[in-house]
Amino acid sequence: MRLGITCYPTYGGSGAVATELGLALAERGHEVHFISYAAPFRLVGFRERIYFHEVEMDEYPLFEHPPYSLALAVAIHEVASQHELDLVHVHYAIPHATSAWIARQMMNGGRGPKIVTTLHGTDITLIGQHPSFHSITRFSIRRSDGLTTVSEFLRHETEESFGVEPDRIRVIPNFIDTERYRPEREPCHRPALAPGGEKILMHVSNFRAVKRIDDVVEVFARVRSHLAARLVMVGDGPERARAQQRAEELGVADDVVFLGKHTSVEELLHCADLFVLPSESESFGLAALEAMACGVPVVASRVGGLPEVVEDGVSGFLLPVGDVEAMAEAAVSILADGERARTMGLAARSTAVERFGAERIVPVYERFYEEVLREEVRVPAGLPGELPASKRARRGP
Ligand code: GMT
């Protein structure tokens, strides 16, 4: 197949998944064209059958807010025409699903590549609900030829909040390269991160408010009053300064290290004894899965799709959002008990390999694309002014 992939290229789960998917599909013989405003952060080095197309945006004095959605639509249109794409897969609905739809409308009255939209999280649960975006998001996702969500939780949310018909959405969970993300990698950075042999708690995110990184620090301060520990914070974002300040206030700053953004977190995760993810909302929790693949148990909040990834009491513990006391207690119960930590770490790794391994999930996407191309996926009948999918003209003259 000739595929286009559009995603946010900076640090974030949806861009990471989109890039890994493109790379895996190219390995399997497909031609993959990434279309975005910058090369996705995990797209490094030369790979056969992989192309990157940068969306061009010119400064113009009138544009206080340059219309990226339109420039992206033009780029998708150009790439789809020049390379005769069969299908464009957009990750995160806003504005990608809309731009892809516009691009296709520009092609001979709507003939063009099929559009698959993967919904990742806040495009549905947060920003997509805002009055400025709700109707266009609903319009665009309902016009995608194929719709996927990364968890059952998000499927349900999409159906409820956007009136998408129940049988339209396919749940395809995020996946992980379990060769790259694995326990006991070399070199081991443990001596550098915890020179005194302390236990290592780790958190990786983009430090937005939804991640509640203050809670990570609160949990750590409580754990540290029970045992020698260090907290390694990986990533950056708007909440970083507040979390640093909270660490100072709690008197634990000397044992908290903020490493900043990191392109290959697998080099760090395997050094951790525990991963902490106390998010307010999490449609899947890719960071938790990455830790689990490295054999690291997780203490997280019981929200969104996290219970579909972390099995409470088996690969970690799930606690109510904001309950830092309970999270700290759960963390200590793992860190202070070597046998429990080992058993949970093994369970975490097994879950990652058996349920979320790339070799298991990537072919699911491939089969879904084939279904979409064969028009076997249901497109709603009642969209005003549209012919049923089977009657619409196909690409080409
Ligand atoms: O939706 C977002 O907040 C952005 C997105 C991202 O790009 O990081 O995160 C979401 O997608 C990830 C990949 O599918 C999921 O692992 C995250 O749980 C999800 N974030 C939220 O739901 C807050």
Contact call for residues 111 and 393 (beta carbons, < 8 A) = yes
Which tens digits make up the pLDDT trace of 192-234?
999 999 999 999 999 999 999 999 999 999 999 999 999 999 9
Indicate whether residue 151 lines ligand 1 (CB < 6 A). no
**What does the pLDDT read at residue 386?**
44
Indicate whether residue 194 lines ligand 1 (CB < 6 A). no
The residue among 66, 48, 49, 65 whose CA lies nearest residue 57 is 66
d(CA 147, CA 76): 18
Atom from ligand 1 closest to the CA of residue 280:
23
List the domains of the chain with CATH numbers.
2-175+360-395 (3.40.50.2000), 190-356 (3.40.50.2000)
The secondary structure of 70-87, three-state, reads: HHHHHHHHHHHHHCCCCE
Mutating to test ligand 1, I would choose from 17, 284, 361 the residue with most ligand atoms within 8 A of its C-beta, which is 284
Q: How far is the CA of 373 from the centre of ligand 1 (A)?
A: 27
**What does the pLDDT read at residue 379?**
60
Spell out, as residue ranges, where the chain has pLDDT lower than 50: 381-382, 384-397
Which tens digits make up the pLDDT trace of 139-198?
999 999 999 999 999 999 999 999 999 899 999 999 999 999 999 888 888 899 999 999
Mutating to test ligand 1, I would choose from 41, 42, 283, 306 the residue with most ligand atoms within 8 A of its C-beta, which is 283
Interior/surface letters 345-376, b for 16+ CB within 10 angstroms, e for the rest: bebbbebbbebbbbeebbeebbebbeebbeee
pTM attached to this predicted model: 0.92
> What stretches of the chain adopt beta strand conformation (E)?
2-6, 31-36, 50-54, 87-91, 114-119, 146-149, 169-171, 199-204, 229-234, 256-260, 274-277, 298-301, 316-319
387 — phi, psi (to 5°)? Answer: -75, 155
**What does the pLDDT read at residue 78?**
97
d(CA 219, CA 329): 9
**What does the pLDDT read at residue 184?**
86
Give the strand pairing for 229-234 and 199-204: parallel
